[in-house]
Amino acid sequence: MINSILFGAQGSYKIGNITINYDPVDNGEINILGNNLFSKLGKALLTNKVMAIVSLGYLHITIHELGHAIAEQMLAKRTISSTITVFTKTCTGNCSVGSSNERWKEIAILIAGPLADVLFSIMQCMLGFMCISAGFFGSTCLGSILIASGVSWIAGELFYATRPYGDVGKIVHLVCG
Ligand SMILES: [Zn+2]
């Protein structure tokens, strides 16, 4: 599982009622990011395997989708199964969330994804600063990478979420119709 989370190796894992699949397909969905400079930059970083690994992309996608899945599990009245797919070629993800007839639950599940990854990214940045101040061999290098990756993912999550197809965009659509 570590190989999948860090390097995007193919695999399928089950944690309780949540199944996580690491699938080496290009789901093409990354094209929806649009054509502005930020989108192009993000796309270049995600589709570049080395950059995806260095920026801990597969880990961040896993955390984001786990946020959706765990929220869904917590809010479900009966036992349900959630399936997460991490598309390892484009470093994107998907969580099969069944629609709920309660709007607040749908909103909570949608917000849980970006929220989980933003919180995780903040902790990653703090870890980076701790590494640098600890001053061991290579600590500045490791710390800088951790901070750069954390900041990039916070920016990426906020940028993605606010697109019409992103998680917050979907909430706006739910509320405003
Ligand atoms: Zn999401």
C-alpha 167 – ligand 1 centre gap (Å):
5
Q: Which of 121, 123, 111 is nearest to 162 (CA)?
A: 111
Report the predicted TM-score, pTM, of the whole model to 2 decimal places: 0.92
Say how far apart CA 20 and CA 119 lie, in whole Å: 21
C-alpha 139 – ligand 1 centre gap (Å):
32
Average pLDDT over residues 73-101: 88
Identity of the highest mean pLDDT range in 3-7, 26-30, 100-104, 166-170: 3-7
C-alpha 62 – ligand 1 centre gap (Å):
10
How many angstroms separate the Cα of 175 from the Cα of each of 15, 67, 107, 170? 32, 21, 9, 9
C-alpha 123 – ligand 1 centre gap (Å):
19
Over 60: is that where the pLDDT of 54 sits? yes
DSSP for 18-41, written as a single string: EEEEEE----SGGGGG-SSHHHHH
**Segment among 18-32, 46-60, 81-95 with least mean pLDDT:** 18-32
Q: What's the chain's average pLDDT?
A: 90
C-alpha 132 – ligand 1 centre gap (Å):
31
Is-contact 42 32, C-beta < 8 A? no
Average pLDDT over residues 147-163: 91
C-alpha 140 – ligand 1 centre gap (Å):
32
Over 60: is that where the pLDDT of 74 sits? yes
Burial class (CB in 10 A: 0-12, 13-18, 19+), 159: middle
Across the chain, which distance is largest between two alpha carbons, in Å?
A: 55
Q: Where are the alpha helices (DSSP H) in the chain?
A: 2-7, 37-47, 49-54, 57-75, 103-134, 139-161, 167-176
Q: Between 145 and 97, where is the model more confident? A: 145
**76 residue type, one letter:** A
User: The tokens 């399936």 sit on which residue?
Assistant: 83
Average pLDDT over residues 147-158: 94
C-alpha 72 – ligand 1 centre gap (Å):
12
Over 80: is that where the pLDDT of 107 sits? yes
C-alpha 66 – ligand 1 centre gap (Å):
9
C-alpha 142 – ligand 1 centre gap (Å):
28
Q: Can you give the pLDDT at residue 125?
A: 98
Question: How sure is the predictor about 130, in pLDDT bands with cuts at 50, 70 and 90?
Answer: very high
Query: For ligand 1, a single-atom ion, which residues have Cβ within 5 Å?
Result: 113, 167
C-alpha 4 – ligand 1 centre gap (Å):
19
Q: Can you give the pLDDT at residue 40?
A: 77
DSSP code at position 84: E
> What residue spans define the domains of the chain?
2-176
Q: Can you give the pLDDT at residue 32?
A: 55
C-alpha 160 – ligand 1 centre gap (Å):
9
Average pLDDT over residues 67-79: 92
Q: Can you give the pLDDT at residue 6?
A: 95
